[in-house]
Structure 1
Amino acid sequence: MNNLFNFETNVSNIILKRGFEYYEQGMVKDITKLGDYIYEGEVEGNDDYTVVIELDKSQSIKDYNCDCPYDGAVCKHVVAVLYQLRDDMTIEVVPKKTKKVKRMSFKDLVEQLSIEDLREFIFISAKKDARLKVSLEAYFVDRDDTVDIKEKYKEVFRKIIKQHTSRGFVSYTETKKLSKELEIYLGRVNELIAERNYRDACSIIQVFIEEAIDVITFSDDSNGYFSDLIFKAIEILDSIIEADITIEFKESLISFFEEELAKEVYFDYGDFGYELLGSFELLCLKIFKEEFYLTFLDKKIKESNSEEYRIRHFTNVRLSFLGKIGREEQLNQEMLDNISIPEVRRNLVQREMMHGEYEKAKILLIEGIKIAEELKHPGTVNQWELILLEIAELEKDVERMRYFYNKQVFFGWQINKSYYSKLKATFTKEEWTVIIEEKIDSLISEAKSKVKQHSMFNSNPYDGLVNSVGVLYSLEGYVDRLFDLLKKVSRLDLVLPYLKYIKKEYTVDVIFDVLRPLIVLEADRANNRSDYKNIGNLLISLKKEFPQAVGIIDSIVDEMKKKYPKRPAMLDEFNKV
């Protein structure tokens, strides 16, 4: 893009115009110097984006980057920052002809103002700026003794939330800003706790949770900032419950938990309800309301209707609570009554194993496997089989160990290397050679059969073998057979993990005879800057891994640049290689 002072010559008129508008409207914020000739700027808009510009000593533009989704060579955000940076550079470079007069500091300015001046400024500014008005009301909320503290903070929180809401929704960017603004009030609650003002702290934290949970329903909390804020609020509530305060005061919290835990939003939008339930359990233990809590859980189980996860969770919480309060006999009976719940069955199995009752444990596990198979829950079946394997190891039952090791090696889409080693260790070298060859033949036949069944999709059978047979070849040191397999694979991502096994045995030319067509195919399929960047980074890493292949890689880059001269984003990324 040439120099900071003539970059316009290499930018399209449309992008130049949009970037200049952003610059003129003052949407470039916080330009920061990250290092020698490296600058970072924030650009505001529908979303905020970060731009990084790197110059050299002569102020030529070496590199630039923006985290916006635009796929062209340069975006409007980069242009806006360049205009602003040029302004800043001009201000720094051009010396002042007049004698420099030291300006009054902000502190000195404020200190010389009268109370009347400040009040007049606040009234005028608050009329113009609604955010300033809300900030002042929020900062001095404790000064108003005419309103109940809960009502005061409810009003403050709602005003702050409204400021960040547009058309009934809090955007991704605004959710982050809102989280930071509201987190200040959690700090205020902690200050009140430190002062042992638990009543006000408790009032504020209750209102905070009540208002915050509603925001989850109309905000984009993809980054999790707001969710974390709610969890922090619940942790603070726990600290109040743990505090040395009267039982009467703690009992006053019961109605809050009953009302909030009755709201579906706590359970529909995350684990907030389960965290809050844990706080309620803590409260009931502290105020000796065990029966009350058990009755509450019974009610939640009945209200859950067909919500299987909730029923299981509330039941497990109830059983755990019975254990905490020492009701062993009741706990044992209720565990048997709820043995269809996997977590309950697991606890019963662990009890039997602790007492060395392996046969009883195996009966429970085999029953669990049958139930899980009927329900088509392979994950639960695997869970029970792992415990059966653990028992087989304890009993040194080699045949059962081999059976379950074998199942674990090939459970899922990739070979489990840990169980593979354990399985191999149970055989002699001669026995293993026969077994592994039979397994390889079986996997190859199975893969080819699948391709025949789905011939209309033009599947490559060798692609499907890489994560099974390919792994076995690498584990057994069959490098030649591994390389023969890789030569038949049609996807670059499947070949790359195996380069470390073949690089010592084959020349660079031979390896890149396999890699080159796959890299070209990957570049042909790429259609956006992100794809081009990934390929460029791959080629850079291949240059580091195979220094002798620099010429080959450069020739691949030249080939693609000639093939696609009208893809500026590709050319831009490949020029970095």
Structure 2
Amino acid sequence: MNLDNFEQHIDAVIMQRGKGYTQYVHNLEETEPEFWQAEVNGTRTYDVEIQLDGKEISEWSCTCPYDGDICKHVAASLLNIRQQLRVKPTSPAQPTKRQQLDQLLNTLKREDLEAYIRQLLHDDRKLLDKFLLRFQTVTPTTEAPTKQYQQLFDKLARQYSSYDYIDEDDASAFADEVQELLDTLSASNLSSAAKVEICFTIAQGIAGIANDVDDSNGELNSLMYSIKDELATAYPQLPTSEQATLFKRVLATQFDSRYSEYGLEDTFTELLKEWAQHSQTDQNTYLQVLDKHVQSSPNDWRRDALLRQKMALLKTWNRLDDMEAVATTHMEIPDFRDTFIQKAIDAKDYDKARSLLQDGIRLAEQQKNAGTISRWRKRLLEIAYLQNDIPAIRTELEHLYQTSHYSLEHYRELKATYPAEEWVNARQRLYGLIPIPRGYDSARAMLLQEENDIPALYELIKQPTIPGQSASLFKRYAPLLATAFPHEVKATYASQICDYLRDNTGRAVYERVIDELNVLAKMPDGANMAHNLVKDFCNRYKSRKAMVEMLIAAFGKS
């Protein structure tokens, strides 16, 4: 995305809102080369950061709760950045705040800096806590760092909690402060082992309050990913024995119900997969835990999800024989069965592929899983096409045609398999497969239109009204039918309007009548008929004052 034309890559509505927010962008500054920061006033003041690479916009972020790709605050900031870069400075460039800070620290006397820091920390106790944690090794204390971080986390949770609950707005502010706590941990000189313990302490704290936080914006999940990043940094700095211990602890966390109940359990999946990449022992440990949970899963969908996770791990670790063994044991999972089906197709062993598919269909029928049945039927159709087996192609297409509400897609595919002289009879048979109830008139109409059988389409549509269906069908096909049957279509359509209005009242009814009269008026020579109906309705139903007012407003006085 380029600074010159980024508007083309942003949703038009968001871009329009961003243009209206350019005046609310404040303190826009290139704080580091090609790194811009700004504050944008909205419901609250949001912090925006944008990284450029020449004119390419490589990264962006905003602290607002918008969950799309680019919010209006970022769009507004980009507009201001582009404008600022296009304006040629008439005076020497103002040093950035970072440059001013560097210059100040290089010239400021130590005693002045100390006095300012003391005053700053005296006035802000939370900042004092973070300052002391940041320089823990310089300012040793008898209290364990883990306990200090836990106390600060608990303090934040109490601060933002109202009646033991943190609402959506406070959740964002709470998460910001916990993130600052994690940033302090990352920058501290504590040992990797100590940082690991603190990470687990904060993670457990998050899981402990998850039920009491409105996490609509995914703030807790973001914090868990920050913890994951900190663990990823600490892992290679630990001795081998401690790495193994950390692996087991993280693995236990992934299956801990305190995390899984709130969607936080998947945070560590990629981390575990990466750590086990080069350790057969860790891989086997992971797989054993997975197997244990597969066996104890309370329902099929959870068990299947775990088995799919196991297959994904085996694929990542290139354990192909193990993959095949798992798939063979659990052929009831469609994705696993499909692996062997594809292998048979690739080997052109179509008999084996068909056998696997037919077994899968029988199993899916027992489970009453229509989606899986359709999936296997499509695979049978694929094989039929590969072998140019016309009877098999027709069999599978007819099944799909009937199970997909008589779709035109499969109808057209079937038509392509027949010579013209055979199609007339085949077409009649396919049309006859549609159930008799009038609820299937829409499917019938589509096929008749496809064959351009206008007389049959007209006969179908003019049948007595089914509320909510025939009227809409007539409206859909009226332009096509009116060309061939102008008088009949107008008369039938007008009759349906009259019947509907006779039996129904209410503003919603009158609005629908007005819509139908407009449709009638657009038919060849239909305007005069619509005008006469309006006049008739106003005279016949004088007591329906709302109706008369609405008709006059829509069509004028007669």
2:452 is aligned, of 462, 477, 480, to: 477
Q: Which amino acid aligns with 1:476?
A: E
Tell me the equivalent position of 2:153. Answer: 154
Match of 2:16 in 1: none
Q: Does 1:398 align with 2:390?
A: yes
1:295 aligns with 2:288: yes
Cross-structure match for 2:300: 308
Shift of 1:492: 2.6
The farther-off stretch of 231-240 and 400-409 is 231-240
Deviation at residue 155 of structure 1 after TM alignment: 1.7
Corresponding residue for residue 26 of structure 2: none
Provide the rounded CA distance (Å) in 2 between the counterparts of 1:541 and 1:240. Answer: 65
Tell me which amino acid in the other structure corresponds to 2:253.
Answer: E
In 1: Cα distance, 2:155 partner to 2:411 partner: 61
Residues 393 and 233 of structure 1: is their aligned pair in 2 closer, same or farther, counting only changes over 3 Å? farther
Rounded Cα–Cα distance in structure 2 between residues aligned with 1:561 and 1:201: 82
Q: Does the aligned pair in 2 maintain the 1:543–1:553 contact within 8 Å?
A: no
Q: Is the Cα contact below 8 Å between 2:207 and 2:258 reproduced in 1?
A: yes
State the shift of 1:368 in Å.
Answer: 1.4
Structure 1: distance between partners of 2:198 and 2:539: 65
User: Map of 1:249-264 to 2, 5 A cutoff?
Assistant: 253-254=246-247, 257-264=250-257
Question: Corresponding residue for 1:418?
Answer: 409
Shift of 1:499: 3.5
Deviation at 1:502, TM superposition (A): 2.7
- Which of residues 516, 523, 533 is equivalent to 2:497? 516
**Paired position in structure 2 for 1:285:** 277
Q: Give the Cα–Cα distance (whole angstroms) in 2 for the partners of residues 338 and 285 of structure 1.
A: 25
Q: Is the 8 A contact 1:169 1:219 kept in 2?
A: yes
Give the 3-state SS of the residue equivalent to 1:329 in structure 2.
helix
Distance 2:220 2:521 in 1: 50
SS of residue in 2 equivalent to 1:492: coil
Shift in Å, 1:153:
5.3
What letter matches 1:516 in structure 2? Answer: I
Q: How does 1:186-201 map to 2 (within 5 A)?
A: 188=180
| Structure 2 counterpart of 1:9 | none
Report the counterpart of residue 479 of structure 2 in structure 1: 503
After TM superposition, the structure 1 = structure 2 runs for residues 342-353 of structure 1, keeping only pairs within 5 Å, are 342-353=334-345
Note closer, same or farther for the CA distance 1:204–1:372 as it changes in structure 2 (3 Å cut): same
1:430 aligns with 2:421: yes
Q: How does 1:165-564 map to 2 (within 5 A)?
A: 174-175=167-168, 177-178=169-170, 180-182=172-174, 184=176, 188=180, 210=204, 217=211, 225-226=216-217, 228-233=218-223, 235-236=225-226, 246=236, 248=238, 253-254=246-247, 257-264=250-257, 266-267=259-260, 272-274=264-266, 276-285=268-277, 289-304=282-297, 306-412=298-404, 414-443=405-434, 446-447=435-436, 461-462=437-438, 464-487=439-462, 488-492=464-468, 495-496=471-472, 499-506=475-482, 509-510=490-491, 512-513=493-494, 516=497, 520=501, 524=505
User: How far does residue 298 in structure 1 lie from its aligned partner after superposition?
Assistant: 1.7
The separation in 1 between residues aligned to 2:274 and 2:499, in whole angstroms, is 59
Query: Given the superposition, is the C-alpha separation of residues 279 and 494 from structure 1 closer, same or farther in structure 2, using an over 3 Å criterion?
Result: farther
Q: In the aligned structure 1, how far is the partner of 2:533 from the partner of 2:433?
A: 38
CA contact (8 A) 1:536 1:576 kept: no
Task: Report Cα offsets for 1:21-56 as digits up to 9, x if no partner.
Answer: xxxxxxxxxxxxx99xxxxxx99xxxxxxxxxxxxx
SS in 2 for 1:401: helix
Instruction: Give the length in aligned residue pairs.
Output: 413
| 2:348 maps to amino acid | G
Cα gap change, 1:156 to 1:470, in 2 (>3 Å): farther
Instruction: Specify the alignment match of 2:140 in structure 1.
Output: none
* 1:19 corresponds to: none
Q: Which structure exhibits the higher relative contact order, with contacts defined as CA atoms closer than 8 Å and separated by 6 or more residues?
A: 1
Residue pair 2:156, 2:177 contacting (<8 A) in 1 also: no
Percent sequence identity is 15
Task: Give unmatched runs, 5+ long, in structure 2.
Answer: 1-19, 22-41, 44-115, 134-142
Q: If the length of structure 2 is used for normalisation, what is the TM-score?
A: 0.58
Pairwise CA RMSD: 5.2
Larger Rg: 2
2-side partners of 1:152 and 1:497: how far apart?
68
Write the distance in 2 (CA, Å) between the matches of 1:409 and 1:220.
46
Q: Give the TM-score normalised by the residue count of structure 1.
A: 0.56
Go from structure 1 to structure 2 and tell me whether the alpha carbon gap of 1:561 and 1:399 turns closer, same or farther (over 3 Å shift): same
Residues 143 and 241 (structure 1), Cα distance of their counterparts in 2 relative to 1, 3 Å cut: closer
